[in-house]
Each structure stands twice: as C-alpha cells, then as structure tokens.
Amino acid sequence: MPVETPAKSAFIFPGQASQAVGMGKDLHRNSIAAREVFEEIDDVLGRKLTDVMFEGPADDLTRTENAQPAITAVSLAAWKAMEEATNCMLLPTMTTGHSLGEYSSLAVAGVLSIEDTVKLVVDRGRLMQHACDEKPGGMAAIIGIDEQTVEEVCREAGAYISNINTAQQIIISGSHQRLARAIDLATARGAKRAIPLAVNGAFHSGLMDPAQSGLNERLDGLEFSDPDVPIIGNVTAQPLTTAEQVKDELKTQLQSCVQWNNSINYMHENGVTEFVEIGPGNVLSGMVKRIVRSANVTSVGDFDAVQAYAAAS
C-alpha cells in the first residue's frame, strides 16, 4: 500500500543542465532498485547510456538526446532507492518537475509506467536534438531585473522568456544572434549577471516547434492514467488532476515558459512545507529557498542522501 510522506510534502525533479559525469554511479552500485531503473533505460535505448553517465565524456552527456534520459534515469533511480530504503511506496502530497523533470513526475504520480516514461523522454530528447540542429539557439540566465523588464528586452531582441525560476532569476532563449542581443540589452538595463547555460538549444521557445509537433503525435498514441497525486504543471502553475489535463500540458510545454516561481508559490500557499528534490544536483533546492524562505528542503541525488532520507523518515 502507498504510504504518504510527511504531511504536506512535495517531490520535485530537476531538468536539463543538471547532468554531471558520474551521477548515479553510487546508486547503481549500492541499490538494487536503482540498478533496475538504469538497466531498464539501457534496454529501452538499446545502448549503454550508463557508460556515458558514469564515465563521460561530458560533451556526449550534454547532448540533449543523452542528457534527458540520463537525468530522468538518476531521478527515478533515486526515487526507487528511497522506496527501497524506507520499505514503502512513497506518495507525496504534490509533485512537479522543472521542464524535463515534469516527466519524472509522471512516473511518481502513476500517470505512466517507468518504461513508458523513459520511452517518452527518449523521444522527447531525440526530437529536441533534431530541433536544435534545425534551429540552433541557446539559453541564458538573467539575474537581477524583474519580469517586466526581461519581457521588454526579449520583445526588442526577438528572444523568448523560457523559465521564470524566481522573481530575480529568469531564463531567456533564442537564436544565437538574438540571444546575444538580449543579453546586451539586459545588461544595459541593470541585470547583475547574464549567464549562458550549458544546453545546446533554445528550449521552451518557438524554436522548439518541430519537436513539439513530433512529440504531440507520440503523446496521442499513449494511454495516460489520472495522477495519484496532483502534478503542478509547468505551463499553468496549477494542479493537473486528470490524464487529459496532463496530456494537454505536455502538448504545449516545449514551447511555453516554465512557471517555476509560481508553481512553488502555489504549493506553499496550499500547505506544502517540505520539498524533496530528487535527482542530480541541488539547483532546485536553492531556488525553492529563495522563493519560500521558510521551506524545509532536502536534496536526494546519491546513495548517502537516500540513506539520510530513510533515517529521517
């Protein structure tokens, strides 16, 4: 039987750019449940993605077609290792993920099986890589100016707002030329920093149109279940509680802004006090603390963190 995690908790999952060579290696070594997830993903791909994850090179791991299933693999492996260590099925109050991380939420909420989730992520990564090749671009983090100013910058430069991570950290995207123009404009209008991201495309922008079209055909061929717990959607920052709502969300997500700041605020305003980031890195944990200072945040991305979580539970 599922066991709900401590009152009013949320599982949150990281997205692309969280990858690092070596991630998941200790989970694979120490957890049977995690190892099964990694083996399943290698089987789905028909190749040893785990070799790239554990040994590199970093340039290969950064490619969208590798980074996306790799990050999903570590996230789902860590989640399964947590269940193994606590000897129960963990059910959060709500779940969400940042961009790619939203797909890990599909498995956790019971919308899709791990196998179908992984297959969908593989297709998403492949389609996005093709879109990146067809319409090259990039992304940058703009820090220290408000959303309205960033909107004006993007409108003038022909760029896009892709993620609103916090009130003071907004991700923009576009073709390389337009992105460079937007960075210059943002800096001139008071941005404290403008940081290019380690991604190879303009995600969550109009440049992802080829990928979104292909992904929508794939989504129409899948049978979704209603979520066991609400998934807070990237596009709406509202709870998705039916299979149809989840599918509609994913059909626009690649070209829409990720409303992360609003998503975390929604969960906090509706009683969530415990946020557990599951997967590689701890970027989301830092964002949550900047959005909700009073939140209790835990990062679980390796075997030591899994054991610490189990001991605390």
One-letter amino acid at 82 equals M
Residues 215, 254 contacting (CB under 8 angstroms): yes
Known catalytic membership, residue 204: yes
Which residue among the candidates 9, 99, 173, 175 is catalytic per the annotation?
Answer: 99
CB neighbour list of residue 184: distance below 8 Å, 6 or more residues apart: none
Rounded-to-integer distance, Cα 196 and Cα 107, Å: 31
Residues 224, 243 contacting (CB under 8 angstroms): yes
Which residue among the candidates 175, 204, 268, 299 is catalytic per the annotation?
Answer: 204
Q: Which helix (H) or strand (E) holds 158?
A: none
Residues 229, 5 contacting (CB under 8 angstroms): no
Rounded-to-integer distance, Cα 218 and Cα 202, Å: 21
CB neighbour list of residue 263: distance below 8 Å, 6 or more residues apart: 96, 232, 233, 234, 237
Known catalytic membership, residue 176: no
Cα-trace Rg, the chain:
18
Other residues' Cβ atoms within 10 Å of the Cβ of residue 287: 22
Residues 279, 16 contacting (CB under 8 angstroms): no
Other residues' Cβ atoms within 10 Å of the Cβ of residue 158: 14
Catalytic machinery residues:
99, 204
